[in-house]
Amino acid sequence: MSYTNPDPDPERTTGLEPGGGVPPGETPPAESSMPEAGPQELHNPPKGWSKGPLTLILALVVLVAAGFLAYALALIF
C-alpha cells in the first residue's frame, strides 16, 4: 500500500509562498482527499443480528420482567 501525503508540497505546487501560504488574489490549491483512509473491509454481513442471539436476549428480558412483576405482586398480596 502506498502512502499519499494530503498536504501539498510548497516547492512543487504553483501559487504557494515559501511558508505554504497563498498570496493575495491567488486561488488556494484544492483540498486533497485521502484515498487510503483505512483498510479495505472484506467482511461486512448484509443482515443484522442472527435469530439465535436475538431470541436469547429477548427471552432474558422477558424473564427479568416476569421476575419484577412477580416481586411486585408478592409485595401487594
- pLDDT value at residue 21: 72
CA 75 from chain centre, in angstroms, equals 47
Supply the pTM of this predicted model. Answer: 0.40
Render pLDDT for 26-53 as a digit per residue (tens, 0 to 9). 766 566 655 666 677 777 666 677 888 8
What 3-state class would DSSP assign to 64? helix
Q: Is 76's pLDDT higher than 70?
A: yes
